[in-house]
Structure 1
Amino acid sequence: MNVQRRLLPTTSALAAFEAVARLGSFTAAARELDLTQGAISRQVGLLEEQFGRRLFERDSRNVRLSTAGEAYAEAVRSALGQLRNAALGLMSNRHGGILNLAILPTFGTRWLM
């Protein structure tokens, strides 16, 4: 695998991280993404392991972004927003679409023509 590719986190890990950062809760992020809390925790843990840095400060009841996590969350939000906008742009600029209709000839001549 390409070295540059290995440096990129998975989109599922980025989505999990962004949701926890925005919602301030692993449980709320799991609900939003329709995953288990353990799956969200695992994705965030993989990111922290990959970077060798804590992205969240955890205590018994709360989770909040670390200093490194705050900077990364800003970059991730921006990157995910750019990807979303690019996808919307591709989907909205479909020119020359074809519509095939299967109708009875009498309906077509009387109603569509």
Structure 2
Amino acid sequence: MENEALEKILALYKSIKDVEFEGRFEKEDEIEYDDGPSTTRYLVAVYSDNIRRVMKEIWDIDSGDQIWKGITGNTFWAWKIEGDYNHDRSIYKIIEVGHATKLKWRNGGMMLSLK
């Protein structure tokens, strides 16, 4: 089930790839690892209803924590944001979607790059 759920989540993320949405950069967070370099991730709040609907679909596939979905409430955790970002509302879009095993998140999970 986990691989099937992950594939469904990837497909939903890819359905909103390159779709602009209104959001706001909230914070960045550095994750330290004992066995390798640290990773910085970025939290972006989402205000656009069309993207929030897809986020809810993604969350409903696995509402537990078996798969890291990159979503916390109405926010995305992204591994990269291209361009300028600050704490004001801005227009974002997902420019890359992938499986985050290389970021060593528990059980793999989602990897997003925003612009």
Q: Would you say same fold, with TM above 0.5?
A: no
Larger Rg: 1
Give 1 or 2: higher strand fraction.
2
Between Structure 1 and Structure 2, which shows a larger proportion of helix residues? 1
Q: Highest relative contact order (Cα 8 Å, sep 6+), 1 or 2?
A: 2
TM-score by length of 2: 0.28
Give the TM-score taking structure 1 as reference length: 0.28
